[in-house]
């Protein structure tokens, strides 16, 4: 019997998905405004989130529900470590710490694993399926926005052990549909997925301040260069 959970999650999180895309940080990102300092802080936060997710997924790999959506090829921790090395250097571990919102996210992941492991499906769906779906587009935006060469600072978006991402997503969705969950549990998973979107939005909103400040500095520097250029041209003309 199919739970049709994949469809329920897609339909039940549409509003949250739209709200996440409309946060200032993500809206700017999607328009190509990517600032390296705020972006590397996002990478840092995601490292702590995925580290917690993947530790708990591994711990729960024999759970009757989690075992059905346990796909190690989705793991992002190692890829994020490569990106952190790029952005922070060889001693990156000493330079990063989770923000308050990232700590809240990690706490919820641990709590779900310890008390209601079946709800972990929501966190897996929210992060991994989103990574697969928009990864290549977001990678291109990041590369153009920060003038990155291919393979520099964008390992997070690379799923090198998945040769056909579309086929894999179909397999993943089918695995969710085949989960032995009743209607009440499915509804709880959808609710948890909406909460997961909320936790992601908190991380994005934390970054808006530093992004706005960076954009302001860039605009100020640009205006200053223009004024200096104009002054030089006037002086030359006189």
Quick check: is 229 in a domain?
A: no
In whole angstroms, give the CA distance from residue 53 to residue 158. Answer: 18
Nearest C-alpha neighbor of 152 from the set 161, 160, 164, 144: 144
The whole domain housing 178 covers: 5-212
Do 182 and 66 contact (CB within 8 A), yes or no? Answer: no
Quick check: is 185 in a domain?
A: yes
Quick check: is 236 in a domain?
A: no
For residue 64, give every residue at least 6 positions away whose Cβ sits within 8 Å of its Cβ, in sequence order, or none.
180
Rg of the chain, C-alpha, whole Å = 21
In whole angstroms, give the CA distance from residue 3 to residue 177. Answer: 5
Quick check: is 150 in a domain?
A: yes
CATH number, domain containing residue 149: 1.20.910.10
Q: DSSP code of 127? A: I
For residue 14, give every residue at least 6 positions away whose Cβ sits within 8 Å of its Cβ, in sequence order, or none.
none
Quick check: is 234 in a domain?
A: no
How do residues 157-177 score in pLDDT, each as one tens digit? 999 999 999 999 999 999 999
- Percent of all residues in the chain with a pLDDT value above 90, rounded to a whole number: 64
Quick check: is 174 in a domain?
A: yes
Q: How many domains does the chain have?
A: 1
For residue 4, give every residue at least 6 positions away whose Cβ sits within 8 Å of its Cβ, in sequence order, or none.
177, 186
Quick check: is 66 in a domain?
A: yes
pTM listed for this prediction: 0.87
Q: Using alpha carbons, list the distances in angstroms from residue 117 to 165, 172, 183.
A: 26, 18, 17
Quick check: is 114 in a domain?
A: yes
SS3 label, residue 154: coil
How do residues 107-159 score in pLDDT, each as one tens digit? 999 999 999 999 999 999 999 998 888 877 888 888 988 999 888 999 999 99
Q: What is the mean pLDDT of the chain?
A: 87
């Amino acid at each position: 019997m199919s739970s049709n959970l994949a469809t329920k999650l897609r339909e039940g999180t549409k509003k949250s998905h739209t709200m996440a895309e409309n946060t200032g940080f993500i809206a700017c990102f999607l328009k190509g405004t990517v600032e390296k300092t705020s972006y590397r802080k996002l990478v840092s936060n995601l490292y702590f989130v995925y580290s917690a997710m993947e530790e708990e997924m591994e711990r729960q790999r024999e759970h009757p529900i989690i075992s059905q959506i346990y796909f190690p090829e989705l793991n992002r921790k190692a890829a994020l470590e490569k990106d952190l090395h790029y952005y922070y250097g060889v001693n990156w571990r000493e330079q990063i710490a989770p923000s308050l919102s990232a700590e809240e996210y990690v706490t919820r992941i641990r709590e779900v694993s310890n008390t209601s492991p079946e709800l972990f499906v929501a966190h897996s769906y929210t992060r991994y399926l989103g990574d697969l779906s928009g990864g290549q587009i977001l990678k291109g935006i990041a590369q153009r926005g920060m003038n990155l060469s291919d393979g520099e600072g964008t390992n997070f978006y690379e799923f090198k052990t998945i040769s056909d991402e579309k086929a894999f997503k179909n397999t993943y969705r089918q695995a969710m549909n085949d989960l032995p969950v009743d209607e009440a549990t499915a509804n709880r998973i959808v609710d948890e997925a909406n909460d997961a979107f909320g936790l992601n939005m908190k991380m994005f909103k934390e970054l808006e301040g530093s992004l706005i400040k960076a954009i302001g500095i860039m605009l100020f520097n640009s205006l200053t260069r223009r004024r200096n250029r104009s002054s030089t041209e006037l002086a030359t003309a006189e």
